[in-house]
Amino acid sequence: MRPRNYFLNMILLVALLTAFGQVRAQQQYMVTRATGKKLLPGTTGIYYALPKTVFKVHLVMEEVRQIPGPFAEYAQKYLGTDNYIKTGATYYKLLSVKVEPVTVADPSHAYFIEFPRERSSKNPRVSSFQLSSDGELIGYGFKIEDKKDEKSGQTSSQILVYSNDMNGGRFSMGAMYSRAQQIDTLVRKVTIDTVTIKRFKFRTSWINLTPEEQANDAAQLIHKIRTNRFNLLTGYQEVNYGEGIKYMDDQLKKLEDEYLALFLGKETRTTVVRNFEFDPEKGHLTKTLMQYIAKSGNTEAVTLNVSPMNDMENISSATTAAPDELFYRIPVKASVSVVVEGNAFYSDIFTIPQLGVVTTAAMGNSHIQLDPSTGALVRIISE
């Protein structure tokens, strides 16, 4: 009889422990990873997510267009210079880089907190959860102010262009009058007896100037403008024009530059702003933002690199949580640099939560506070 009684007592003990565990589980919070499946009838709770950092990268570039002048082939002949734009080209120059971190909810780390189905009157539970405006868990049991900055909805790879060239690369002095008056002299000889008389007849016509003739006229105008400037500045007129001298000299200089551009060509400079977004993840820490043509003619790449500085390799990551446990992050810091052809154009240090470790903290009757930007455990009080 004793073996039978011992066996029955063990069955009763197991049943009591199972029933006690079920009752205890019904009085605890259960945190599971969100799967997208519908909840069972009667299940109540809330969803929350851990935060992660996404970077907005602003690149300010200068676009330079080199445009040959219409009389470029005559620059050496009429101006005696070899320093002019011979062929058209467009190249870019990187002026500045700005990297801005933005905190967003991490969809790959979203969780469901199932509320207890039964509550014990002898042991009341703290049931105060606070979430940020983006659905990230801020605290349990605390009343915490969400101080996270507002996020911008800037589109990825947006291009903004600011032009500082009013003429749009046009040569205003290139549209000159290109016709000239030609006078032909006709000589008619009339002989009366031994006397020869020459009669002159003039015939006027209009002809089109060749490009070289137009270039010659433009070069003569440049010489004339420089002579007038010299006379103006050396007091050839012997008249004190006061401030008018400065104005006239400026206008003559602008006129000279316009005519010189017909031979030497011109450069137009445009400021271009490009915006990118980068979401660093483990195994995906480098991204080529764009490529552009440099002044040398080579193609240069702009690359964003993220290098973690304090990997949490000795801390095991938690994929499941026991009853009454919350998931939180242990973030890491990383060096973020923008590299152009092997040289760091920009470098700074940021906290990147998603490169860290996700683990759990016991709730019980504790008060827990999480950092809204990193999801890190910053405060816990046990009662």
pLDDT in tens, 196-227: 776 666 666 566 778 888 888 888 898 899 99
pLDDT class of 167 with cuts at 50, 70, 90 = low
What average pLDDT does the segment 14-33 reach?
Answer: 58
Q: What is the structure's pLDDT at 236?
A: 80
The better pLDDT of the pair 142, 138 is held by 138
What's the average model confidence in pLDDT over 325-334?
91
Instruction: Please state the domain extents for the chain.
Output: 2-62+90-166+271-381, 172-264
pLDDT value of position 184: 56
pLDDT over 70 (residue 162): no
Contact 81, 42 (CB under 8 A): no
CA distances from 174 to 72, 117, 170, 262 (A): 12, 86, 8, 7
Q: Which residues contact 212 (CB under 8 A, 6 or more apart)?
A: 74
Per-residue pLDDT tens over the stretch 237-296: 777 777 888 898 999 999 999 989 999 998 889 999 999 999 999 889 999 999 999 988
| Residue 169 clears pLDDT 60, i.e. is over it | no
Query: What is the model's pLDDT at position 203?
Result: 61
pLDDT of residue 56: 95
Q: At residue 51, does pLDDT exceed 80?
A: yes
Flag the least confident range among 49-58, 61-70, 179-188: 179-188
Contacts of 360 (CB under 8 A, 6+ apart): 31, 318, 321, 322, 325, 326, 327, 328
Quote the pLDDT of residue 135: 83
Residue-level pLDDT at 35: 85
Q: Each residue of 282-301: pLDDT tens digit?
A: 889 999 999 999 988 899 99
In this prediction, residue 339 carries a pLDDT of 94
pLDDT of residue 3: 57
Over 80: is that where the pLDDT of 12 sits?
Answer: no
As a whole number, mean pLDDT of residues 323-337 equals 91
* pLDDT for residue 153: 39
Q: What is the pLDDT of residues 63-101, one digit of tens each?
A: 999 999 999 999 888 888 888 899 999 999 999 999 999
Q: 58 and 100 in contact (C-beta within 8 Å)?
A: yes
Say if residue 58's pLDDT is above 80.
Answer: yes
The helix (run of H) or strand (run of E) holding residue 25 is: helix 2-26
Amino acid at 207: I
The continuous run of DSSP H or E covering 367 comes out as strand 367-370
**Measured between alpha carbons, how far is residue 142 from residues 22, 44, 120, 128 in Å?**
29, 21, 22, 7
Highest mean pLDDT, choosing among 115-124, 144-153, 330-339: 330-339
As a dihedral over the C-alpha atoms of residue 240, residue 244, residue 250, residue 253, rounded to 10 degrees, the angle is: -50
Q: Determine the Cα–Cα distance for residues 104 and 352; give it in Å rounded to an integer.
A: 11
